[in-house]
């Protein structure tokens, strides 16, 4: 199998209009966490169009497109959900209509992370075109609920679909640089309870907000002491939401 890398680049350039159109279509479909179904169905159409060997959507809503039937399993992943658009006044373009010129495509999800899906689907097409199938099975996964529950989709995939790849490529945006791993993330909810009282007699109550104050200070201090790993980089901690009930 002697394939010059330039041949791959030539094929990618050949499919530039289709890749751009596919990405623009995904951008145009709102797909916040738990609302990814229409975007997943659009991906299914494109996988069918370019000739994936097998396409499946699981009960959670993740899509799997398979190339090849070899013994070594490789996965390439992009999460399909996006965060919300926020304040529309902060956008210079319509987040769902997007914008495209000869250098960039803009819109909600263009980078994080539907651009990865567009690239992966046409990587599968190029593998087919150039006869690059070998003793491997490539599984292109479009996963859901990453923005709200990072890691939940892959826990489901491994536990319920029994997909155990030997190697995984995440297409999370990295400024076009290759990174060797991801630290992972944990979300922790901390609750304090109290007893309400009238504002004229706070001594009759038990203020839950005051109880939270030293916890917040400890978390702020903990962030300064997290390890800086040679391989994974420095960890970080933040308090992102506070709810009062």
Active site residue 187: no
Q: In Å, what is the CA distance from 201 to each residue of 84, 95, 185, 197, 212?
A: 42, 50, 42, 7, 20
Which residue in 36, 46, 77, 81 is the catalytic one? 81
Count Cα atoms within 13 angstroms, Cβ side, for 204.
6
35: exposed, middle or buried (Cβ count in 10 Å: 0-12, 13-18, 19+):
middle
Residue holding tokens 């539907």?
Answer: 114
- Residue 81 is a catalytic residue: yes
Cβ-contact 69, 137 below 8 angstroms:
yes
Q: In the numeric block, which tokens belong to residue 169?
A: 């490529």
Catalytic: which of 36, 46, 77, 146? 146
Helices and strands: H and E segment counts in the chain: 6, 9
Active site residues: 81, 146
């Amino acid at each position: 199998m002697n394939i010059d890398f330039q041949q791959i680049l030539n094929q990618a350039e050949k499919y530039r209009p289709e890749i751009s159109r596919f990405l623009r279509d995904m951008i145009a479909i709102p797909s916040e966490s738990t609302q990814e179904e229409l975007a997943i169905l659009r991906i299914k159409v494109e996988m069918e169009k370019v000739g994936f060997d097998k396409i499946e959507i699981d009960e959670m809503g993740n899509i799997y497109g398979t190339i090849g039937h070899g013994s070594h399993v490789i996965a390439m992943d992009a999460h399909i959900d996006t965060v919300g658009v926020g304040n529309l006044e902060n956008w210079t373009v319509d987040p769902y209509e997007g914008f495209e010129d000869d250098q960039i495509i803009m819109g909600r999800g263009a980078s994080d992370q539907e651009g990865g899906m567009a690239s992966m689907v046409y990587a599968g097409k190029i593998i087919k075109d150039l006869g690059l199938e070998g003793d491997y099975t490539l599984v292109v996964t479009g996963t859901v609920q990453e923005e709200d529950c990072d890691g939940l989709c892959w826990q489901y995939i491994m536990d319920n679909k029994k997909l155990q790849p030997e190697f995984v490529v995440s297409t999370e945006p990295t400024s076009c640089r290759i990174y060797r791993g991801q630290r992972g993330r944990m979300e922790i909810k901390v609750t304090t309870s109290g007893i309400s009282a009238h504002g004229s007699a706070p001594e009759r109550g038990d203020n839950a907000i005051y109880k939270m104050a030293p916890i917040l200070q400890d978390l702020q201090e903990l962030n300064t002491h997290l390890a800086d790993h040679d391989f994974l980089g420095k960890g970080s901690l933040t308090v992102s939401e506070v709810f009062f009930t």
